[in-house]
């Protein structure tokens, strides 16, 4: 299908598309600053067009079917909404003290829920896909309530945070596309059935990615002069992001294994921590924070995507370890 082909192209060359969006935005903002500032009026529309297709594919009602795996669900909430912000605070304090806009970006990344792509990566690694889907839906829903107070606590010493305005903005950015997406999915299924929805589904990720590239272009073009004057900051951004992912992935692996979760559940849990919803973070940053904050979030896929690819090669080892632990022959050998 055309949608699947486009999705594969975007997935394979996502980093190149992000770089192209950053470059085009920087050039446009540098040579046509008045035009770039005029693009501000399209931000809200672009945000909706970016998030709406993503929400169509998310089944929020699956959250209520998660009681049978309450341990894994509980740890996902702890890791995504408590541990991740604390790791963000630690890394920002150590590495980004002189760069408040970037520290805010890391805070926002740390409190942002996981993205729908987590289910795809979990499937590639032979993990628990149903669990991953539940974690995606639950974390997205909870983030409506958790992002504003978390950002107020983490970033209020760096930038002015209007928690009430941010709550309203988060509600609009997440809830409206979520409701519209859920209603659209139900309508499609009612008219054309589940097969009809599955035929439409492959077209949703490319549409969402196009919206993300557009919002990166707009945000970067609006802050082009500040970006060019501070180009050396890339040397600060990338190490901070690497530290952020390394620490929280290592901790989540340790915690999940100590908790006695099955290997398939560990895979879903680790990917839920590493697969941050960059589109949502960029959407919120473009509304409430500076273009430099958006730039750091736009650069994040250069770190996040390779990290998830490395996990894809490493996480399947958990199955071998789990299997050897259950193998009677190995157990007898260990006691002999």
- Predicted local distance difference test score (pLDDT) of residue 334: 44
What are the structure tokens assigned to 86, written together? 């604390």
Question: Over pLDDT 90: what percentage of the chain?
Answer: 23
- Predicted local distance difference test score (pLDDT) of residue 87: 96
Rounded Cα distance, 291 and 280, in Å: 15
Q: Kind and range of the H or E element at 228?
A: helix 224-229
Distance from the Cα of residue 133 to its chain's centroid: 14
- Predicted local distance difference test score (pLDDT) of residue 325: 64
What are the structure tokens assigned to 332, written together? 């007898």
- Predicted local distance difference test score (pLDDT) of residue 64: 61
- Predicted local distance difference test score (pLDDT) of residue 326: 59
Residue 91 has pLDDT above 90, yes or no: yes
Q: For 171-228, what is each residue's pLDDT tens digit?
A: 777 778 888 888 999 999 999 998 888 888 888 878 877 887 887 788 778 777 777 7
Strand partners, 114: 276
Residue 153 has pLDDT above 90, yes or no: yes
Residue 132 has pLDDT above 90, yes or no: no
- Predicted local distance difference test score (pLDDT) of residue 112: 92
Question: Can you give the pTM of this predicted structure?
Answer: 0.76
What are the structure tokens assigned to 245, written together? 């992912």
- Predicted local distance difference test score (pLDDT) of residue 61: 64
The average confidence (pLDDT) of the chain is 83
Phi, psi of 114 (to 5 degrees): -75, 160
Q: Name the residue ranges covered by the structural domains of the chain.
A: 2-317
Q: For 226-282, what is each residue's pLDDT tens digit?
A: 777 767 778 888 999 999 999 999 999 999 888 888 888 999 999 999 989 887 888
CATH label, 2-317, candidates 1.20.1530.20, 3.30.70.3270, 1.10.287.610, 2.60.120.1090: 1.20.1530.20
Per-residue HEC secondary structure of 86-136 comes to HHHHHHHHHHCCCCHHHHHHHHHHHHCCECCHHHHHHHHCCCCHHHHHHHH
Rounded Cα distance, 132 and 73, in Å: 9
Q: For 8-63, what is each residue's pLDDT tens digit?
A: 787 677 778 878 888 898 899 899 988 988 887 887 788 788 778 877 877 766 65
């Amino acid at each position: 299908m055309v949608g699947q082909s486009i999705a594969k192209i975007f997935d394979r060359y996502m980093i190149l598309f992000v770089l192209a969006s950053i470059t085009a935005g920087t050039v446009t903002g540098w040579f046509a600053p008045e035009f770039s500032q005029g693009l501000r009026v399209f931000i809200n529309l672009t945000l909706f067009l970016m998030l709406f297709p993503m929400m169509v594919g998310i089944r929020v009602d699956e959250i209520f079917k998660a009681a049978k795996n309450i341990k894994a669900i509980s740890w996902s909430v702890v890791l995504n909404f408590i541990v991740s912000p604390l790791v963000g605070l630690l890394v920002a304090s150590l590495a980004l003290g002189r760069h408040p806009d970037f520290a805010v970006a890391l805070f926002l990344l740390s409190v942002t829920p996981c993205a729908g792509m987590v289910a795809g990566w979990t499937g590639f690694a032979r993990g628990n896909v149903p669990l991953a889907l539940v974690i995606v839906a639950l974390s997205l829903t909870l983030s409506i309530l958790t992002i504003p107070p978390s950002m107020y606590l983490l970033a209020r010493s760096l930038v002015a945070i209007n928690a009430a305005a941010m709550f309203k903005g988060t509600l609009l950015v997440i809830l409206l596309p979520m409701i519209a997406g859920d209603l659209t999915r139900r309508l499609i299924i009612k008219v054309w059935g589940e097969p009809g929805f599955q035929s439409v589904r492959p077209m949703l990720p490319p549409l969402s990615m196009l919206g993300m590239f557009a919002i990166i272009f707009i945000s970067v073009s609006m802050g082009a002069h500040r970006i060019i004057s501070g180009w050396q900051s890339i040397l600060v951004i990338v190490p901070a992001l690497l530290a952020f992912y390394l620490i929280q992935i290592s901790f989540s692996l340790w915690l999940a294994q100590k908790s006695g979760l099955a290997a398939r559940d560990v895979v879903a849990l680790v990917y839920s921590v590493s697969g941050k919803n960059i589109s949502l973070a960029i959407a919120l940053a473009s509304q409430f924070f500076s273009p430099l904050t958006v730039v750091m979030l736009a650069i994040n896929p250069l770190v996040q995507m390779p990290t998830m690819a490395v996990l894809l090669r490493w996480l399947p080892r958990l199955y071998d370890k789990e299997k050897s632990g259950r193998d009677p022959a190995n157990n007898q050998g260990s006691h002999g």
